[in-house]
Structure 1
């Protein structure tokens, strides 16, 4: 079976960098995957991406050595299994609030006897290899998002869930949930205290931890803080950066 390079990187003791795709399109996903990330996440929660578009994007990422991940829209077994059957090598699941929800998520990612994932890896067996059924449980990453006050309160129980590979912090929702403003790359003391509690719980449980960031500088700070995965850049951020150039060009034109 094709190895999960993200798992291999973590096993070697190194952190990983992740790119993020919110816009539908095979070429945009291929372009993101060609930038040198360790993983690329196709976002079907807040991204504007449907199933057929997700499939095409996973196929595009597969033209590179990058590990393909999918953030599903919710903790629903059908959505989780379809992402894995399409060839995702890891699933990021939003809004995990307690150990019961986490166990249901993890079990949807695993074939029996470790879970209840249904057999039907339509594209996954093409991407992963003919021994996919036998080895998938050991390669697919189950990553739970902690982004609510309830999830924070239950973090120690969540990370003790058998089979959980990682936790991914959604800082904007987490900040909102604990009384702060939404947004990325915040150093607010209350949010940093929440980060540190989640970090400590993950390290104690041997679970990897990632965080959504919005800049290289903040990503570097989070790696120095102990995070195993940082999302450094996204298609929408890079497109948005182009607006500045367009605005500057417009101002120059109007000043002539």
Structure 2
């Protein structure tokens, strides 16, 4: 099994960080902090699949699972990030069973799919059955059209899970971005996605953005919860350090402090 599959098998909830830029230390810091996985964003982030391949290679011996979000079910970039060692792909803006099936096919070799053979790391081996088994595929439901096709999407064979995008879902449903966590209709849609996907035997994932929201989502039953991006974590930590300095407070016992 992959690291991501191992983490899910060991715990009801797993916690993730998110990387949107070409950082070297960000993923390792998430691992050091105890996160279970890190996601690399090729949809909205300043990354392409070549950047991701280098980051994945650096994490080969770091104890953290990996996922890559891609903007479509185009099989070429999906194959490249899997060949580079990603544990999972997360395909954005899926609105039909046909799109979900195309995402699954991109992770499978012939005759079941359209993935081309070409692992980029020797450690991945050459066993196509094992390579397929270790490649998890999630599709994002984040629009009203995707929500309407929820049952059909969840029935697609070979799908690992559903990953929910709360911001786009709220916008697509005609609400403000700030309503993503508070509007009853959006919350009901989130609960429907979680319940339907779980009933179909799928893993449910979601973006949270804060630990407090992450706790609420865990209580709702979501299993794969992304808490923050590296930029969010940096901003929060930087603000806390500045607040401590300007308020004249001290860092007890030099907590996490060092000079270099």
TM-score normalised by L of structure 2: 0.88
For residue 139 of structure 1, the aligned residue among 134, 137, 154 is 134
2:222 matched to which residue of 1? 227
Q: Which residue of 1 aligns with 2:108?
A: 110
Q: Which of 9, 12, 16 is 1:11 aligned to?
A: 9
Give the structure 1 partner of residue 257 of structure 2: none
- Give the secondary structure class of the aligned counterpart of 1:218: helix
Query: Is 1:83 matched with 2:81?
Result: yes
TM-fit CA distance, 1:75: 2.4
Q: Quick check: 2:205–2:224 contact (8 Å CA) kept in 1?
A: yes
Residue in structure 2 matched with residue 158 of structure 1 by the alignment: 153
Question: What is the aligned partner in structure 2 of residue 212 from structure 1?
Answer: 207
Aligned to 2:25, the other structure's residue is in SS state helix
Inter-partner Cα distance in structure 1 for 2:10 and 2:100: 26
Partner of 1:37: 35
Question: How far apart, CA to CA, are the structure 1 residues paired with 2:20 and 2:189?
Answer: 26
Q: Shift in Å at residue 159 of structure 1?
A: 0.7
How many residues in Structure 1 have an aligned counterpart in Structure 2?
248
Once the two structures are superposed, the pairs formed by residues 184-223 of structure 1 within 5 Å of their partners are 186-223=181-218
Q: Secondary structure at the match of 2:118?
A: coil
Work out the CA distance in 2 between the residues paired with 1:28 and 1:184. 30
Partner Cα separation in structure 2 for residue 62 and residue 211 of structure 1: 25
Aligned counterpart, 1:173: 168
Change (3 A) 1:218 1:249: closer
Is the 1:33–1:61 Cα contact (8 Å) retained in structure 2?
Answer: no
**Counterparts of 2:208 and 2:146, CA distance in 1:** 19
Quick one: distance in 1 between partners of 2:225 and 2:235?
20
Q: Could you tell me which runs of 5 or more consecutive residues in structure 2 were left unpaired when the two chains were aligned.
A: 248-260
- Is the deviation greater in 26-35 or in 227-236? 26-35
| 1:29 positional shift | 2.5
How far off its partner does 1:249 sit?
A: 8.2
Cα distance in 2, alignment partners of residues 12 and 131 from structure 1: 27
1:120 to 100, 118, 121: 118
**Which secondary structure does the structure 2 equivalent of 1:142 belong to?**
strand
Q: Secondary structure at the match of 2:177?
A: coil
**What is the RMSD computed on CA atoms of the aligned residues?**
2.2
Q: Matched residues in 2 for 1:221 and 1:207: separation?
A: 20
**Distance in 2 of aligned mates of 1:6 and 1:249:** 37
Q: Shift of the alpha carbon at 1:191?
A: 0.9
Unpaired segments of 5 or more residues in structure 1?
none
Assess if the C-alpha contact under 8 Å between 1:175 and 1:182 holds in 2.
yes
Task: Give the secondary-structure state (helix, strand or coil) at the position aligned to 2:186.
Answer: helix
